[in-house]
Amino acid sequence: GGVGKTTIAKYAFDSNFESFERSSFLYNVRDFSESTDGLIYLQKQFLADILDGRKIGIQSVADGINQIKSAVYGKRVLVVLDDIDEVDQLAAIVGMRDCFYSGSKVIVTTRQIELLRACEIELIDDVQKLNKDESVELFSWNAFGQGHPVEHYTKFLRGIIEYCIGCPLALQVLGSSLSGKSLDVWESTLKKLEVIPNS
């Protein structure tokens, strides 16, 4: 979590959706699907995106799959399914891949790479954490408003970078929270971080 999967998917979506006839970005699929009728809610959202906001009644997940088949038939679509953690979530929206018109693209983000392999997803990009130099730069932009650290604060930087272990979200949050704070606050924060487990 926090490595940037959703950010990358959003960038890819925003950069390319105009090249497709229809598009849909479904955020936090895992969270929505946990609620009662969550998969039906996601299917309705997908259909509303594909059908220019038109509301569709869905009786069951199977009914939703059939309606999605009809809605995407003959259309080049771009779909992002963000934070999938079960096969049925994928199946409820894009399980009928053969119905998607040639040139359609489906982007899936997940923490479970084996799920992608089980669904025969062909192209997998395993997003890596940032290296030390990238971590310092990202943290510095958020803490100091520039791509490198301010001289007096460098003594705390090593501990913070080690704690964040290359996770962009952690670096951004911690950098923003320390921005403009005194050296005492930085020292106190670092001591607290040393007590908190990495998980």
Calpha distance 51→57 (Å, rounded): 13
Give the orientation angle of helix 183-195 with respect to helix 168-178, to 10 degrees: 140
Rounded mean pLDDT, 175-192? 90
Q: What is the pLDDT of residue 197?
A: 64
pLDDT in tens, 8-52: 999 999 999 999 999 999 999 988 888 888 899 999 999 999 998
C-alpha pair distances (Å), 177 with each of 102, 142, 144, 156, 193: 46, 9, 11, 14, 13
Q: What is the pLDDT of residue 73?
A: 86
What are the residue boundaries of the structural domains of the chain, listed by start? 5-119, 132-195
pLDDT in tens, 140-181: 999 999 999 988 888 888 888 888 888 999 999 999 999 999
Calpha distance 144→32 (Å, rounded): 37
The long-range contacts involving 188-193, CB below 8 angstroms and separated by at least 24 positions, are: 190/156, 190/159, 190/160, 193/159, 193/160, 193/163
Kindly indicate whether the domain formed by 5-119 is annotated with CATH number 3.90.550.10.
Answer: no
Cβ(45)–Cβ(104) under 8 Å? no
pLDDT in tens, 53-105: 888 889 999 898 888 888 888 889 999 999 988 888 878 877 766 777 888 89
Indicate if the pLDDT at residue 199 is higher than 70: no
Percent of the chain predicted with pLDDT > 70: 97
Instruction: Count the neighbouring beta carbons within 10 Å of the beta carbon of residue 138.
Output: 21
Query: What's the pTM?
Result: 0.77
